[in-house]
Amino acid sequence: MQIVIADDHQLFREGLRLILSIESQWQVIAEVDNAQDLMTQVQNQTPDLVLLDYRMPGGGAVSVLSYIKQRFETTRVICLTGVNSAGLFRQLLSCGADAVLLKEISAEELLAAVRSVVAGQQVLSNSVKQQLENGVDKLTSREFQIMDLVLEGLTTAEIAERLSLSPRTVENHRYSLMKKLDVRNSAELIQFAQQQDLLSC
């Protein structure tokens, strides 16, 4: 099985590679630290599995995940995150994530999750399951995607180009998400994201 590790922290990538090396039939064929390099690797090599960090420079995990799952049906994606948010988990699952795991899991749990995903099962960390049972979603998939890019620092024009939308459409979604979250501007949106731990790695 060929695997690509996508995380912007070198130490974390090295740790994942070491853990995965336990299985002799698994091969890490690439490590990347940004979204664009990840998409290039997937295009060129079509790996069997991608371990994807939620926070990736050059593009949010939601956009990257959607891109991979829409174009490479055989590639399975395990999303790893330190963000404990029901809204985020539902968004990742709606985009086709084969597993959503918190970075607090053990090496044994990760290996078990990889084996289950390879066998065609969907895997969620216990904490993820609890959040999904207790969480109340406010945002649509598109609104969550746009919020992710706003938090990344992109302007309306840049978001429109990234998502192939008109600036007016982006502004409408932006207005809607801010109204739902009861924030008035980007500064308050960032403050909300900090309170909800959406800026964690």
Residue 183, judged by CB atoms within 10 A of its CB (0-12, 13-18, 19+), counts as: middle
Per-residue pLDDT, 134: 59
Per-residue pLDDT, 200: 46
CA dihedral 64, 66, 69, 70 (to 10 degrees): -120
Q: How far apart are CA 122 and CA 93, in angstroms?
A: 9
Per-residue pLDDT, 197: 59
Residues of the chain with CATH 3.40.50.2300: 2-134
Per-residue pLDDT, 189: 85
Q: Could you report how far apart the first and last alpha carbons of the chain are, in Å?
A: 27
Question: From the CB of residue 96, how many other CB atoms can be counted at a distance below 10 Å?
Answer: 14
CATH number for the domain running over 141-195: 1.10.10.10
| Global confidence as pTM | 0.71
Residues of the chain with CATH 1.10.10.10: 141-195
CATH number for the domain running over 2-134: 3.40.50.2300
Per-block mean pLDDT, blocks of 10 residues, the chain (201 long): 95 95 95 93 96 81 87 94 80 90 93 96 88 64 83 90 93 89 84 66 40
Residue 33, judged by CB atoms within 10 A of its CB (0-12, 13-18, 19+), counts as: middle
For residue 122, give every residue at least 6 positions away whose Cβ sits within 8 Å of its Cβ, in sequence order, or none.
Answer: 93, 98, 99
